[in-house]
Amino acid sequence: MPAHSPSAAPVGVGIIGLSASGGWAARAHLPALAAVPGFELRALSATTPESARAAGEKYGVPLAFGSARELVRRDEVDLVVVAVKVPHHRELVLAALEAGKAVLSEWPLGNGLAETEELAAVAEARGVRTFVGLQARSAPPVRYVRDLVADGYVGEVLSTSVIASGRRWGARFEPAGAYLLDRANGGSLLTIPFGHTVDAVTMALGEFTGLGAAMATRRPKVHNDVTGEPARMDVPDQIAVSGVLEGGAVASLHFRGGLSRATNFHWEINGTAGDLLVTGDSGHLQFGQVTVFGARGAGAELAELPVPGSYDAAIPALAGRTTEVAYTVAHAYEQIRRDLTDGTHHAPDFAHAVRRHRLLDRIERVAGF
């Protein structure tokens, strides 16, 4: 993996949604950008000029705007990062595309398939580079699993099984996550943890050629974690998908809301020559906080397979810091940097987001949800 050339001009980044009060952009994008050579955070926008100014002062960002449209028009910005809630993605991504800027949007790209297809079509028509935050596929453990499979560690893949918990969408919710209870907002157990994880599974093992699905909302009434007040939830908190992947392997994925007292992330890959197991503390594989185990050959028992250091050699600033949410995001940025500077296509783009949204839409239709 080539290192960034000191002579190459840095990619100027503008983040929409970087707040002085914290949030995902501050916890993940900010340290990730600082760790990856070749990027320079030059601008941010927030909901008001006052909040933008506060964020700019806190994080040392020179350009701070009270509107995204001001940000996307600046020549200093080469890459616009959209790090806000899903219902606002369409408007902000379109503004960046219309300004001719490369865009990285958080996942899900659109609020449903139709919005995603629209955004991908506009990007293609304007000929700009696009990226989507499906960073689970960039995580070193996931790439290692993909390579082990490709190199024949398990032989021919016979089946794969995932059982996972979504952490959210359980009996209680934190006030900041109230919008995730409403299907109309586009953020759900299906689109977020399931979407990230199924993207990684299919990267390693191939796409679904046929599937069956069942979904249900088993807890239609949940309670505010602070006030105890009840609220209605209409997103599914149980998702079961089974089918056949390219190559013939049988796949089964079960996601459930909340956390389990038993298993919260367990991904097996079973083959003719060996087995792989990936475990973690929740179904959010996009955080990359998992451990890989394997065994092959007669009588062999599962043992941990440490991820080789070569998988994070390009980002020495984050080596070993696997428990930080910025770790996997930084690896996604490293792929994006190479794509922008070398013209390659390592990171998932809007066209890929359409393929993934189509799978989620298919699951919903098959499940009758």
**Taking residues 235-250, what's their average pLDDT?**
98
**Taking residues 5-10, what's their average pLDDT?**
67
b/e burial code for range 205-234 (CB count within 10 A of at least 16 → b): bbebeebebbbebebeebeeeeeeeebebe
pLDDT tens column, 9-54: 899 999 999 999 989 999 999 999 999 999 999 999 999 999 999 9
Phi and psi at residue 250, in whole multiples of 5°?
A: -90, 135
pLDDT tens column, 136-185: 999 999 999 999 999 999 999 999 999 999 999 999 999 999 999 999 99
What mean pLDDT, rounded, does the chain reach? 96
Does residue 5 carry a pLDDT above 80? no
**Taking residues 225-229, what's their average pLDDT?**
96
**Taking residues 94-108, what's their average pLDDT?**
98
Percent of the residues in the chain that have a pLDDT greater than 70, as a whole number: 98
Per-residue pLDDT at 28: 97
Output the pTM of the full model.
0.95
- DSSP code of residue 134: -
**Taking residues 86-113, what's their average pLDDT?**
98
pLDDT tens column, 356-368: 999 999 999 999 9
pLDDT category of residue 313 using cuts at 50, 70 and 90: confident
Q: Which class in CATH covers the domain with range 137-307?
A: alpha beta
Phi and psi at residue 43, in whole multiples of 5°?
A: -150, 155
Q: Tell me, yes or no, if the two domains 11-133 and 137-307 fold the same way.
A: no
DSSP output for 173-237:
E-GGGGGGG-GGGS-STIIIIIHHHHHHHHHHH--EEEEEEEEE-S-SEEEETTT--EEE--S-S
**C-beta separation of 279 from 268 below 8 A:** no
Per-residue pLDDT at 58: 97
Q: Per-domain residue ranges for the chain? A: 11-133, 137-307
CATH hierarchy code of domain 11-133: 3.40.50.720
